[in-house]
Amino acid sequence: MVISKELKRAREYEAEKGALVKDEERAVYHLSPRIGWLNDPNGFSFYNGKYHLFYQYHPYNTFWGPMHWGHVVSDDLISWEYLPATMAPDTDYDGAGCFSGSAITLDDGRQLLIYTGCSKVDLDEAGRWAQTQCVAVSSETEVGTTEYVKYEGNPVITSDHLPEGGDIYEFRDPFIWRASDGTFRAVVANANTSEGKATQLCIYKSPDGFKWEFAKVLFEDWRHIGVMWECPNFFPLGGRQILIASPMDMETEEADGSIRFPKGNNVVYMVGDYDEATETFTLARAASHEKSGQGALATYHPVDCGLDFYAPQVMETPDGRRVMIGWMQDPSIGNLHNDDDFNIFCQMTVPRELTLRNDRLIQWPVRELESYRDGNMVFASVELDDNERSLEGISGRVLDLEIELEPKDGAELYKSFSMKFASGCEDLYTELRYIPERSILTIDRSNSGQPDNYTKRRSIRVRNRGGALSLRILLDRWSAEVFINGGEQVMSTTFYTPLAADGITFSADGSAAIDITKYTITGK
């Protein structure tokens, strides 16, 4: 089987340079690129007995560049094996980049990838690439490996398939699924040039995954939630239908004294019901909306309330779980690493199991992570005051921490709680702060040693439990994922403090107590 010179070059480069990446450059249990730059997760799926994850990839630099598709496989969603790059930008229709997409298994057992091709020859006056939807299909080689062959009929969804006002230069990120009759559907993000309208999600249908036609506009927005909804996901969960999207250029939205959405790029979810017969999505408990008729949109919520999370993708496991993985990076920020010797940049979150409780999304690290725990250390009823306190054995940069915070019995409600981690080197640290009277939790990396031109902190309101707070914190060298009150909310952040900063301290303004269980995480 012949592969293009562009793909051959990428594979030779990643094989040579990937071998030079030092162990300390990588997170231990979060996926990083084989070499170079990583962004959106793509094609997250289970196929031929393995979990597959493809990802947006620029192998030649640690900054964003022409998008390839990297490829990894796993038995357990935690340990990933690098395979050769799957796609390179090597045709007229995708020569400027192979953008995001998804995967599905065909009736004949082959895996189909559907993705956005950015044309290197069709540009508008502003230099934007025309974007169309393309497919590639798995094919077994004579030596027993799998290649993904781009369909000779690409692109399969073009400007001819757009609704009125649709913008071919902002048309991307197909998410594919099977309808109950076995035919295929895909929802694709699209900007709309009609007056007053910002963005829409379009449904396309196909009998076989190769021949597509426009079905309808699934959802549209009149400049209420950003200007373009990237990377949509659309799937059933807990008897409802969930829509997840990544709006670009949102305006700041405050609620209850905290920032519900910061200015910039965010990820939102909406809960509703889906009528497959009419392909209609109706928001749960939505009031009348004057313009779009889609509901008051008070029912959209943040997926992750931290500083670094974007473009997630959701798949269904063989045992029926819905699992989500996201790009742990603010897309408005480039490489922030303070060490020029690093050969890789960016990482994924730990995959998260999704459930629905009272129409709210609950997220929790996949249960497979627990098999990577290597022993535990427990501290019970540790009393805190305004003196920063460290505990023997509670330190490091690769940990799984469970913390239960409560007011001290008989004492006045404490005013604040603080946990500092990745600390102790040149006064650097990242901090979690909780103010129980207002139920405000803040993640703050302003002292982590990063440049000034990036978002440093975010505060959210959590459920008021009378000063009690439950946290599970996944630390992995360059990042933290904080799961709050059993996964009701999540805050993810990256920081590039030197690894020598491995201290962890606790303090409180007032009297409080914590229970701590610490697990060390090891790779396999």
- Looking at the annotation, which residues are catalytic? 40
Stretch (H or E) spanning 524: none
End-to-end C-alpha distance for the chain, whole angstroms: 33
In whole angstroms, what is the distance from residue 365 CA to residue 472 CA? 9
* Residue 447, token pair as written in the block: 């002292």
Provide CB contacts within 8 A for 144, sequence distance 6+. none
In whole angstroms, what is the distance from residue 77 CA to residue 475 CA? 17
In whole angstroms, what is the distance from residue 519 CA to residue 441 CA? 23
* Residue 86, token pair as written in the block: 């799957």
Find out whether 441 and 469 touch, Cβ atoms under 8 Å.
Answer: yes
In whole angstroms, what is the distance from residue 281 CA to residue 274 CA? 5
Look at residue 9 and give its three-state secondary structure.
helix
What are the b/e assignments for 500-517, b being 16+ CB within 10 Å?
A: ebbbbbbbbebbbbbebb
In whole angstroms, what is the distance from residue 454 CA to residue 452 CA? 6
Look at residue 24 and give its three-state secondary structure.
helix
* Residue 470, token pair as written in the block: 């439950």
Q: DSSP state, 152?
A: T
Residue of 183, 184, 181, 188 lying closest to 203 (CA atoms): 188
Look at residue 220 and give its three-state secondary structure.
strand
Cis peptide leading into 155, omega within 30 of 0? yes
In whole angstroms, what is the distance from residue 56 CA to residue 36 CA? 11
CA dihedral 494, 340, 87, 132 (to 10 degrees): 70
Q: Where are the beta strands (DSSP E) in 78-198?
A: 81-87, 97-105, 111-123, 129-140, 146-150, 166-178, 184-192
In whole angstroms, what is the distance from residue 38 CA to residue 57 CA? 5
* Residue 142, token pair as written in the block: 């004579």
Q: Exposed (0-12), middle (13-18) or buried (19+): which is 491, by Cβ within 10 Å?
A: buried
Residue written as tokens 């020569």? Answer: 95
In whole angstroms, what is the distance from residue 53 CA to residue 348 CA? 11
In whole angstroms, what is the distance from residue 284 CA to residue 481 CA? 29
Other C-beta atoms lying within 10 Å of the C-beta of residue 153: 10
3-state SS record for 183-200: CEEEEEEEEECCCCCCEE
